[in-house]
A and B are shown apart, each in its own frame.
Chain A
């Protein structure tokens, strides 16, 4: 027979407290080890929903399962293909970042990127014509996430664009992401000038096919392993991808340079990829997407499976509420600006790249990337604290992604909606900043949080999900 109450009566009590400090004090006087929660009341409007969600008998096991699946998910780069083929993307359909949105409410950078994509697809001859078509609703807009894809910043994907294809063999899932265009005036930041379109054409006709050949010749590249390593090399996988980009290049170079192409084209492909510090971002993101996809559809789980922004709205989805989006107005990042740009030039938060934080890296792994912290105008202690604070709102720790300076502790993984509402601690997101005017491009980089109402709304929905 096992001892009742897990042997409580045979052990020295080690006590955790929430509430009046005098009780913790009285325990310390008795030389008892005490862990005192810095408890604060949750928002009034969420008290009832919290009560119901915490009482849900499925929650604890469901969240444990969600974390287990998220950390077990694999992520192998297996192919590079045109979106038309890989995603079955029809001509006239354009994917974008974040939750669903219509043209009327779309922000400058998303509009700019859509205009650029319409031009790229040859559906319009001028940006004015493209804009008219989009405003008239001629083209279909759809979130990347609805096709198991992700796109950084505006995240616009059109049929002719090439995408990386990643596989999670453990859960038999596939995800996709566009190829990274580099920095500056690029489509994903809303720029659509001739240089932007020209580069995209080159990516479609030269870079994509070469990468496809390189990947196919080499065989699957374990992206999850690269992420694990880059975190130990000073990257956090969202705004700092230097080590990851170099490691990826190292994996691809042998078969890239022997690909069937002109030496000039191969040299340009290598130069382009090597010069791009965010080359890896577009692989880290779909890898994170595979991780969060593995947690989707777990009844009773309060774990966040998507955080994404379209430049107007911030949206989240959870494991326990299926495909339903919970949205709120996207905040504008705070940080540092390129050139003479300032806060007035910045567009609200945009992009699917917050999938990295959703999966336990990016802002959640900031302690691993001390060099990035000055994006926030802070310092290294801030980075440490950011990661350590995220443990307060996550279900557990990643088994593969670790932070050396925290004694190789796993990154905080699996954002718990209930914990966010209980503590008022919002997920920390590292991000780039797009100019608010279409065609501007990148204006800076910084930090941002989701709006709290996404989480309170998701909590309400979770509270309404009946236990079977």
Chain B
């Protein structure tokens, strides 16, 4: 074993750099101990304590290199390591720093980790939360406390949290859009699932995502634009939440100079909440129209038509795309028998609600996973029973998986299954385009329709398919292209969900008449 102590003058290296050099050298094979340090009293004391002999003339401005190693070879290896370590301390090519940190780029700003920090980073005026439901309130409170309105796309948020969140938001004069708010358009910007619509005079307050998309699509087809669409969350018009966000949204749209009329869109609301809101709306300067679904109330298309008339706009014929009829093509065929029951397979909850409301006046009770009354609830397997409407976007079917507007696989499986079920008389489907939705859902659904019709035909049945297609000509997926593909596959396509449902009912009735 050999010791090597060397004094270097005129060298200065920061003590922390020297500690690093020492550590690096100490790990060199053959080296047992190493200390490279300025010869301060402390360091000399440390070295002496280690058994090294330090020259008496050393001063704190001298650099001490002390090595203990296995023979001369070890010392040589250690000295080489000292030089290498010093070289590594010097910046290369004028770049700051030595070896480079663990993935850190010089000066790179780390990503914000909370919504509040993300708001602060760009001084945001709006926040969007889509984390899993049990974490959503935390992020939303963070945004609200920074004075920012927040859209909560997440579902499965407890209703007590929703109430607390909305009260906190009202106190800070910000809006909570949600929870379970799928759609909003603010200042022309689409948030979540939303269609590309022109700016215009109609403001929308929506407790329903697909309901809002449907009315915006209809208004767009009528040539009437939207000022803003403020989502409020599917439960806002429930008794528990009592329209907290709807009130704020109505007040904001009332004050907005670009909004000349307001349309409130909702699944069936709590009657007392609706009454209170109607009273509140009566005090506003801007006329408020209601597209709040319910038995005996107008459907969404009728509500839009009423608004168009009230605002002096013409009601257009709503777009319909029919399959080519050539006798052998995929169009409705009277040559084969049909099943007796309506099967609606939806992605949009409100569209499913509306379809059930429209259909039940003719068909009676419709079984569903989102039934209009509890006794109509489907079992957990969602097995079809008579007239059935399934909402694949319901909370229970989206836990741990993407919304069917993004991941259509569950519904596609069900379409194939219905094709083999002799009791399935008409398939009523929805398809929603726009931002947030599948980038090109038409071909996949068209293929499924085609296969379903072929499978039914192979089983000796005719299976008409009607699609309610919510979209605008500005949507990235292409409204006409998608409709044409579906029609070519044999589906009748409607822009109006109510009209689609009525056509499905007519096809079902026609089938019944032909079969005694």
Q: Which residues of A are in contact with B by a Cβ distance under 8 Å?
A: 1, 3-6, 8-20, 22-24, 26-27, 29-30, 32-42, 47, 50-51, 54-55, 57, 59-60, 183-184, 336-340, 371-375, 377-382, 384-385, 388-389, 391-392, 405, 419, 422-423, 425, 444-445
Query: B35 and A339: CB pair below 8 A?
Result: yes
Q: What residues of chain A lie closer than 8 Å to B49, measured between beta carbons?
A: 339
Q: Assuming A9-B256, A19-B129, A422-B113, is B142 touching A54 (CB within 8 A)?
A: yes
Instruction: For chain B, residues 121 to 154, give those with C-beta under 8 angstroms from any C-beta of chain A.
Output: 121-132, 134-135, 137-139, 141-143, 145-149, 153-154
Which residues from chain B contact A23 at a C-beta distance below 8 Å? 128, 130, 153, 191-192, 436
Q: Is B252 an interface residue (CB 8 A)?
A: yes
CB contact under 8 A between A6 and B147, given known A13-B126, A36-B111, A380-B97: yes
Q: A332: shortest Cβ distance to chain B, in Å?
A: 16
B residues engaging A (CB < 8 A)? 14, 16-17, 19-20, 22-23, 33, 35, 41-43, 45-47, 49-50, 96-102, 104-119, 121-132, 134-135, 137-139, 141-143, 145-149, 153-154, 161, 164-165, 168, 171, 173-175, 186-187, 189-192, 227-228, 248, 251-253, 255-256, 258, 406, 435-436, 476
Q: How far is the CB of A184 from chain B (nearest CB, A)?
A: 5
Which residue on A lies nearest to B107, using beta carbons?
Answer: A384
Q: Are B125 and A388 in contact (CB under 8 A)?
A: no
Q: Is the CB of A37 within 8 A of B104?
A: no
In the bound complex, do residue B20 and residue A374 qualify as a contact, i.e. CB atoms below 8 Å apart? yes
| A14-B122 in contact (CB<8A) | yes
Cross-interface CB contact of B139 among A18, A30, A392, cutoff 8 Å: A18
Extra pairs beyond A16-B119, A444-B19 (10, CB < 8 Å): A4-B173, A6-B147, A9-B228, A17-B128, A26-B436, A27-B128, A38-B113, A54-B141, A55-B165, A419-B116
Q: Which B residues lie within 8 Å of A30 (CB)?
A: 189-190, 435
Query: Hey, which chain B residues are within 8 Å of A388, CB to CB?
Result: 109-110
How far apart sit A12 and B334, CA to CA, in the bound complex (Å)?
Answer: 55
Could you say which residues of chain B place their CB within 8 Å of the CB of A444? Answer: 19
In the complex, which of the residues B108, B164, B187, B256 contacts A385, with contact meaning CB atoms closer than 8 Å?
Answer: B108
Please measure, in the bound complex, the distance between the C-alpha atom of A50 and the C-alpha atom of B228, giving whole angstroms: 33
Interface contact A385-B190, CB-CB below 8 Å: no
Most buried by B among A1, A18, A372: A18
Q: Is the CB of B101 within 8 A of A338?
A: no
Give B260 Cβ to nearest chain A Cβ, in Å. Answer: 14
A9-B253 contact in complex given A339-B46, A371-B16, C-beta closer than 8 Å:
yes
Minimum-distance CB pairs A-B, first 9:
A19-B130, A336-B19, A16-B118, A60-B145, A381-B104, A16-B124, A38-B111, A37-B118, A54-B141
A12→B187 contact, CB < 8 A: yes
**Chain B residue contacts of A184, Cβ below 8 A:** 41-42, 45-46
- In the complex, which residues of chain A have a beta carbon less than 8 angstroms from the beta carbon of B117? 37, 391-392
Q: Nearest CB to that of A36 among chain B residues?
A: B118
The answer on a CB contact under 8 Å between A55 and B122 is no
User: Which listed residue (A375, A380, A392) contacts B19, Cβ 8 A?
Assistant: A375
With beta carbons under 8 angstroms apart, the residue of B124, B248, B476 that contacts A14 is B124
Which residues of chain B are near A33, meaning CB under 8 Å?
122, 124
CA distance A176 to B168 in the complex (A): 42
Contacts of A3 in B (CB 8 A): 255
Query: Please, which residues of chain B bring their CB within 8 A of the CB of A24?
Result: 128
Q: How far is the CA of A371 from the CA of B108 in the complex (A)?
A: 19
